[in-house]
Structure 1
Amino acid sequence: MNKIYNDTIPLIVAFSLCLLLIVTGNSAVAQQQAFSYTQYMDNLTPFNPAYSLLDKAGSIHSLARKQWVGIDGAPVTYLINGNMPIESIDGAAGLIVFNNQLAIEHQTEVNAYFAKGIQLDPYSYLAVSLNAGVRSYAANYSTLDSSDPTFRNDVRGTKPNIGFGVIYYTGWYYLGISAPELTITSLGTASVQNNSNFRSHYYFSGALLTNINEDIKFKPATLVAYAKGVPLVADISGTLYIKETLGLGINYRTDKTMAGILTLNINAFHVGYSYQLGISSANLGGFNNATHEISLSYRFGRLTTTPLL
């Protein structure tokens, strides 16, 4: 019990820092981060592959996200990631596939990763991960108006990608920092277009799981994203879990959007849905054009407990 109280001090400091970042990131957001989805609190691995070690089972996660429904060319995102535990070395290996379409722009990314955990004491662990893959970007400007010199040339770029992640975790909270997308070389002509998809991205994450009573648990979580030249964006969310089966959550993002989240954990399956909308008249679409997001996960192998953290 003393160990738990001792852990509270760094936890409070870290979350205070995170709140400071949220306030800092509450400025005008002219550009979106290249990689974003609402249900990060249930599947953080694409942002930080070291997170895969918090669950000792194997898993496959999928997600589909449709932004600003009713607007032609609005962003559509598909994501799938899976991992296999390597219990003999307290490790895990997996694959992340990401696809995003926005009007004439199309980005695909594939990353393989390896994560390794180290037990620091009976209560806490440190997990590190390395990932490597490839990113491909295409923008078909010529389809807009081929007679206009401004849109005459399409943009194509494919570059290798590397990244890392670190997470410190116990049985009831985690703190992580990661850079899953480190760009080593420029994108050439796409760099001239000031494209944010091929910039290095950095993430700070944290979550806490606490018992309200025997049947209800509460999980606040946060994710802060930064890329050079793109305004910092912070997510903060809170989820109530009822009998470890039904999850009811709310999410706020500093680009002036909010979301309601509903999740179900049924045996080895996890199903999630979120409804996101703008809360500022300056947002594209305001309250009229919502964003829908659906997730589906399946766990296999060592299914000891429901992974809520």
Structure 2
Amino acid sequence: MKKLFLLSAVVLGCWTAQAQQLPLISNYLNTAYLFNPAYSGIEGKTEISVLNRRQWTDIQGAPETQFMAFNGNRDDLKFGYSGYAFNDQTDIVARSGFYGSYAWHVKFTDRNSLSLGLGAGYVNNNINVAGIRVPDELDPVLFSALNTGKFDLNFGFNLQFGDFSFGAAVPNLLAPKVDFSDNYLGPMQYHYMRHYVVSTQYDVNLQKGLMTLSPFITVRANEVTNPQVDAGLMFNHKEYFYVGAAYRSSYAVTANTGLHLTEKITLGYAYDFSLNTYGFALGNSHEFMLRYTFGESKKDKRLENEIKKLKDRQRRSSEELEDFLNDRLDEFNDEVSSKQNELFEQEKAELQSQLDEAKAEINSRIKGYSTEQYAGQVKPGSPGYYVTAGVYGQEENAHKLESKLLADGIAVDIFQDQNNMMYYVFILKFPDYDSAHEAQLTKFNGQYNGSLWIKVIK
């Protein structure tokens, strides 16, 4: 009888561990690389994350999970890497291990890419004999080998088309078998099930990328159980906070919230409310996440470098044109005689006018204004009336708009108001308010499609 009791406890523990083969977390949008190695380093950041989850708080021996993970990439953004260690315990059954992943990011264009990732790890499976209760504490079954480890692989990919992404992963790729004691009725064995995780997400950028609204769907499946579908919505204000909610089929409703305490530190919390028949008896689930980001985003840094290169190319083009026209002026000066001075002066004036117009045309496709009014020809932040295309609290967001307008052929520049510390992206500067107001209302005589504001610097 006692042998049957012990065997039942071990079987129950193994069944519970099998049902929890993929640790369940609700912050996976912030740590997608934990289950799909293709996401390793995809954001261009180096970061460390710590997660702690307690599930079904009213049940003794309910699942508890901890993760410690890091994520980063190479400077060229072509390769990413990640790794994590975890501990997942359900009553007397515990699993702990570590995985390392490597990803290859292939860019087709600036907004379209394919990522492939492969992860490898070692997982140790343990049944806590001290938690098994039998009448005879000297029963030899208690001294059986109830601790064993296995090697496994994960594979995944992700396709990025603009703001839309589609990815899939196969955790437990090798599906290894785990053997425990073979005392009495034969070997105690269960095997890892090969899982399939498919996810899709669309990012709606608001306020020129400062905020993002992201609907998402994630489907988990294996060879035995019914597929589980997560469908939700996440809103992220990149400077201050994020908040979201999701429905997890046949399980729970999840609420996510987090604060970007600084540019480098994010604190997140997730709450699961069970919807099944025993939801009120099981209790709810709580999950905490802490993330620290090192340095600047390599994507943002590369964008700043591209802006600098674009400015340098514009400056060189302007200088080359000026040198060319000055050479022509010098040639005319050598060729004309004293009798042609009047004609020379007239042509010189015309060439100078062409030079001024050419400078303006190189610097901007906005035409019809004096050269000294264009961005690049004025001292940013000097007194005057600036017609601006955007204002931001963070300099990197101002540079993003600057890059977009420069690529569209519109010359812009940036200055910071020392009174409110905001960054202004301006197109033209005027000596009086009326001229600036007219340019704003007419949108530079119909040559600009976006919104415009006037910034006054005394």
Task: Give the structure-2-normalised TM-score.
Answer: 0.55
**Structure 2 counterpart of 1:146:** 134
**Structure 2 counterpart of 1:58:** 46
Q: Are the structure 2 counterparts of residues 119 and 158 from structure 1 closer, same or farther at C-alpha, using a change threshold of 3 Å?
A: same
**Structure 2 counterpart of 1:272:** 268
CA deviation after TM superposition for structure 1 residue 171, in Å: 4.4
Given that residues 41 and 81 in structure 2 are in contact (C-alpha distance below 8 angstroms), is that contact kept between their aligned partners in structure 1?
A: no
**Structure 2 counterpart of 1:238:** 233
Q: Are the structure 2 counterparts of residues 285 and 171 from structure 1 closer, same or farther at C-alpha, using a change threshold of 3 Å?
A: farther
Separation of aligned partners in 1, 2:285 and 2:197: 23
1:250-265 residue pairs with structure 2 within 5 A? Answer: 250-265=245-260
Deviation track 1:106-150 (CA, whole Å, cap 9, x = no partner) reads 10121111111001233200011111110111112563223488x
CA deviation after TM superposition for structure 1 residue 231, in Å: 2.9
Q: Are the structure 2 counterparts of residues 115 and 291 from structure 1 closer, same or farther at C-alpha, using a change threshold of 3 Å?
A: same
CA deviation after TM superposition for structure 1 residue 271, in Å: 1.3
CA deviation after TM superposition for structure 1 residue 79, in Å: 0.7
CA deviation after TM superposition for structure 1 residue 185, in Å: 3.3
**Relative contact order, CA 8 A, sep 6+: which one is greater?**
1
Question: Is there any run of 5+ residues in structure 2 with no aligned partner, and where?
Answer: 1-17, 301-395, 398-458
1:295 aligns with 2:289: yes
Bigger CA radius of gyration: 2
Separation of aligned partners in 2, 1:267 and 1:36: 28
Q: Are the structure 2 counterparts of residues 232 and 122 from structure 1 closer, same or farther at C-alpha, using a change threshold of 3 Å?
A: same
1:95-114 residue pairs with structure 2 within 5 A? Answer: 95-114=83-102
Separation of aligned partners in 2, 1:194 and 1:35: 20
Q: Are the structure 2 counterparts of residues 117 and 242 from structure 1 closer, same or farther at C-alpha, using a change threshold of 3 Å?
A: closer
Separation of aligned partners in 1, 2:145 and 2:231: 37
CA deviation after TM superposition for structure 1 residue 37, in Å: 0.4
Higher helix share: 2
**Structure 2 counterpart of 1:207:** 201
**Structure 2 counterpart of 1:176:** 167
CA deviation after TM superposition for structure 1 residue 230, in Å: 3.0
Separation of aligned partners in 2, 1:193 and 1:275: 36
Separation of aligned partners in 2, 1:225 and 1:268: 31
Deviation track 1:148-205 (CA, whole Å, cap 9, x = no partner) reads 88x7556322111112110111442211111132235321238966746x22222111
**Structure 2 counterpart of 1:227:** 222
CA deviation after TM superposition for structure 1 residue 34, in Å: 3.0
Separation of aligned partners in 2, 1:185 and 1:240: 39
Residue 35 of structure 2: SS of its match in structure 1?
Answer: coil
Given that residues 53 and 127 in structure 1 are in contact (C-alpha distance below 8 angstroms), is that contact kept between their aligned partners in structure 2?
A: no
Question: Is there any run of 5+ residues in structure 1 with no aligned partner, and where?
Answer: 1-29
Given that residues 142 and 154 in structure 1 are in contact (C-alpha distance below 8 angstroms), is that contact kept between their aligned partners in structure 2?
A: no
Separation of aligned partners in 2, 1:208 and 1:194: 42
Separation of aligned partners in 1, 2:77 and 2:207: 36
Deviation larger for 242-251 or 187-196? 187-196
Residue 255 of structure 1: SS of its match in structure 2?
Answer: coil
Aligned length: 274
Q: Are the structure 2 counterparts of residues 33 and 188 from structure 1 closer, same or farther at C-alpha, using a change threshold of 3 Å?
A: closer
